Structure 1
Amino acid sequence: MAAYGTDQGLTDWGAANGYTLTGSITNTVLRERGSAYVDALYGPRFIGKPVAWDQDRAWPRTGASVWGLAIPEDETPQAVINASYAAAFAEDGSPGLLSVTHTPGKAKVLTKVGSLSWTPVQGNGSAASAWMPVLTVADGLLAPFLIGGLHGNGVAAMVV
């Protein structure tokens, strides 16, 4: 698969934001994991639709626009690339963070403290996305590119 961005871009983004990679996982692998995270959590909510039914990643897309400006069908927005870099750095700091494994039927919540008491989780807590970590940096970067997001509706700030 083709990850978003480049190995050098990942290093440069980290340096510009005060992060240093540990070196325990290669940049290429980190970019793959960061890209997979972005696509898994945000892909179905991205504006537009994939250019091809069998493309590796959620971007590039056709029919996508932000703030009234069309996004070329052969480009991936820099914010998407930067969000994948943010995810890659989170993964580097805590390998496995982006690919949480869970068994919904065994999820519990602490409901009493004295003599501890646990209650099974009910409702939407079983959805896979409910168990994925949310990186606020990625959330902010991607908001304008999401269906029902900030694209064209009011004022938005994008941190790059």
Structure 2
Amino acid sequence: MAGYGTDEGFTAWLTENGYAVPSGSPASAVIRQRGSSYVDAVYGGRFVGDPTDPVTQERSWPRIGAFAYGVEIGSDAVPDAVIKASYHAALAAATSDHSLSLSTPAAVKRRKVGDVEVEFAEAAATFQFADDVPVSVLDGLLAPLLRSRTGVLIRTIGA
């Protein structure tokens, strides 16, 4: 599977938003796959509903029992927000081979007073990827489709 959306849709999204994929980047299908894999890996476990076929389904969408803004999402549908989020991530993947890596080294400090030694890490700077596009862009797009980290459905008030 080549990821969420289509090559044509990705090209149209790039144009509509004034973005361009750097020359020499992998094919659209490849970077869409990378972007979709990123979205599924980071957000898949928190998406509302359940995969339509949890055993063999490659992507997190489509899902059953999924709702957004009080409206049921069809069991054969992939929400536009998921597609757009994967396009954002695909653009990041095209910009840098390592832009979708979330591993950031923490500054480790160790203190020893007498026989007591304490080791701790300070929080790293806010994570951003490719061209300083903050992860919160994806968080914002996908918020209506996510459960909180505690499993409670996040509801958006107003619309």
Q: Which bracket does the TM-score occupy, shorter chain normalised? A: 0.7 to 0.9
Structure exhibiting the larger radius of gyration computed from Cα positions:
2
Alignment correspondent of 2:37: 36
Superposed CA RMSD in Å reads 2.7
What are the residue-to-residue correspondences of 1:108-147 with 2, within 5 Å? 108-109=107-108, 120-121=120-121, 135-147=135-147
Name the % identity: 45
Q: TM-score, normalised by structure 2?
A: 0.76
Q: Is the 8 A contact 1:107 1:120 kept in 2?
A: no
Greater per-residue strand proportion: 2
Task: Sort the Cα spacing of 1:132 and 1:16 in 2 relative to 1 into closer, same or farther, 3 A.
Answer: closer
- Structure 1-normalised TM-score? 0.75
How far residue 110 of structure 1 moved from its aligned partner, in angstroms, is 7.7
For 2:96 and 2:136, the matched residues in 1 are separated by 16
Task: Check conservation: 1:47, 1:64, Cα contact below 8 A.
Answer: yes
Structure 2 residue runs without a partner (length 5+): 111-118
- The within-5 A match list for 1:1-150 is 1-23=1-23, 24-53=25-54, 54-100=56-102, 107-109=106-108, 120-121=120-121, 135-148=135-148, 150=154
Retained in 2: the 8 A contact 1:2–1:56?
no
SS of structure 1 residue aligned to 2:31: helix
Report deviation, 1:136.
2.3
**Deviation per residue, 1:98-154 (Å, 9 max, x gap):** 13456xxx742589xxxxxxx7527xx7xxxx9895522211110000014654x41
Q: Paired residue for 1:115?
A: none
Residue 121 of structure 1 aligns to a residue whose secondary structure is strand
Provide the C-alpha distance between the structure 2 equivalents of 1:18 and 1:2, rounded to a whole number of angstroms: 23
Q: Does 1:155 align with 2:158?
A: yes
Per the alignment, residue 116 of structure 1 pairs with none
SS of equivalent to 2:41: helix
Aligned equivalents of 1:131, 1:141: Cα separation in 2: 17
